[in-house]
Amino acid sequence: MAKSENSLEKLIQLNSGSNKLNSKVDLDLMNSPDNLQIILSKIKELIDQNNCNQKSVDILNEFLHTSDAYFIFPKSKSAVDIIEKYCSIFKLLLKKSIHTLSHNEEDVPLERSDFIDISAFSEKLLNLLTDYFKMLLTMEKEVKQLYKEPLVKSLAPSAFILASSCCTPSLWWNEEMHKSATCLIDHIIDLCDANDLLELLSGTENTLFPDGLIATVLKQLQPALSKECWKRNPMALHCYRWCLFKMSHPHLGEFIDHVLPPALLLIDDYLPKNKISGIKCIQHIVNNVAPTQLLRHGRADVLFSALESQLYTNDQKLLKNVHACILSIIEILDRSKMEKTLNVTRYDSILKIILTNMEIDDKIKVRRFYSGILIQYIEQMKLSIIRFLKRLLPIVANYLEIYDGPEETSRINILKALNLTIKYAWPRIPHHSDDILKCLLKFMVDISTDDSLTSLTVKQMLMQEAQDVLILLNYSTGGNIVKLLAGIQDVHDNEMFKNAIVNVCTSTNKE
């Protein structure tokens, strides 16, 4: 008991800067474990005086590290009251740890300096909670059973929010915090009788949170992630994302109504980095929630509308993420329509936007992006691409005319897109074969006589893609292309061009 008395004296000394609490305590009262409540009440009073700052954590840390474990967790009839006081103290500190910013009205960019104080506070609190839970884990079975359930059920959600917000790099993050956060989560897993993190989050009958800890965590985060508050709560947002990506099928579907709103808020923000973050969240949800759940209550329609509105930009990183997610959503929404070959689907509306952008935007980087994404839509639409031939083929011709750097990314992509178009839209290709042949031959002549920085390897790749398109075009026209090509190799002196034409004719003749 002397050790505990000594710890209380140290607490008073630690707070000696305060003029409100400097009276001596009757240490004779500390002869019984029940009087731990007096110490805890004094600690709470000291913490209140210090407004939950770093000194507050030091006060509690001093007590825990100078007291015997069996004094901290006594076998006592007053255990319920002791637990209540512990919970009250830790909840005060945990509430302070999830930092709410005060200056986001003008959307001021956040800097590391905004989190200096809270980072130091959170690091100390993480260490304190880790030691506290570790001490509880080492207690004998009877003591552990007495304290574990009420303490962990009360503190685990908030402690988990703090730990998960410090598990990955951020403006308030450092390596030591990461280590402490990881240890704390491991202790929570053990105390909740879960086998691993996924079981802790999703829940099983044998754990302290049978419905899953994530349900409680998301409910607790809800006010901080509302439309009015989410920008002022970056730590809460960080926790949401971390938890979301730790959940997978089939467990995530149970919490879909909790995880969708924050993702939609992120997508709707004006900052590209927030939009991309929200889209990645949506992509994870789509990948890990059953299609039937996404279709229920029009959830998938809401997601499609939110994503479609993000297509009117030139930010390639954003567009790349948007289109990947849209392709996944349309596959769910229009699966039944795709069973009938020529049904109009949402692919049509998105392809119209893509073609419009390809027609009007002449930036090289943008052309590279759209020529690549076009391939994915043609592969999904198959025969339905036939509706867009009149609009698509002039775009193909335009892309083939323009050099786009030594790697020739957009021209390689557009040749692959043309190949797929001929493959799927073959019934109508004979009506357009003359135009396709002209633009291909012009392209092949340009490449074979090109004196730019394009390497021979890339030129050969381009010529091979063009040859493949010509061979497929010949099949689609019943062999008419080879007839038109007969003798054309003699018109041009370039060996690369002549060899390509010979290869096309030879290949088709073999077939």
| Per-residue pLDDT tens digits for 282-322 | 999 999 999 999 999 999 999 999 999 999 998 999 999 99
Mean pLDDT calculated for residue range 410-417: 97
Cis peptide bond N-terminal to 291, omega within 30: no
**Predicted confidence (pLDDT) at residue 5 exceeds the cutoff of 70:** no
Q: Per-residue confidence at 434, pLDDT binned at 50, 70, 90?
A: very high
Other CB atoms within a 10 A radius of the CB of residue 273 amount to: 11
Q: Per-residue confidence at 23, pLDDT binned at 50, 70, 90?
A: very low
DSSP 334: T
DSSP 455: -
Q: What is the mean pLDDT of the chain?
A: 88
Question: What does the pLDDT look like over 188-223, one tens digit per residue?
Answer: 999 999 999 999 999 888 889 999 999 999 999 999
Q: Per-residue confidence at 1, pLDDT binned at 50, 70, 90?
A: very low
Mean pLDDT calculated for residue range 135-140: 94
- Give the chain's length: 511
Distance CA 301, CA 505 (A): 49
- Distance spanning both ends of the chain, measured CA to CA: 96
Q: Per-residue confidence at 9, pLDDT binned at 50, 70, 90?
A: low
Question: What does the pLDDT look like over 218-245, one tens digit per residue?
Answer: 999 999 999 988 988 999 999 999 999 9
Q: Where are the alpha helices (DSSP H) in 270-408?
A: 272-288, 291-295, 299-308, 316-333, 335-338, 346-360, 364-381, 389-401
pLDDT of the residue at 13: 54
pTM: 0.88
Six-digit token string for 69: 């474990």
Better-scored residue on pLDDT, 436 or 486: 436
Six-digit token string for 277: 């973050």
pLDDT of the residue at 384: 94
Mean pLDDT calculated for residue range 65-94: 90
Sequence-distant (6+) residues with CB within 8 A of 224 are 98, 100, 230, 233, 236, 237
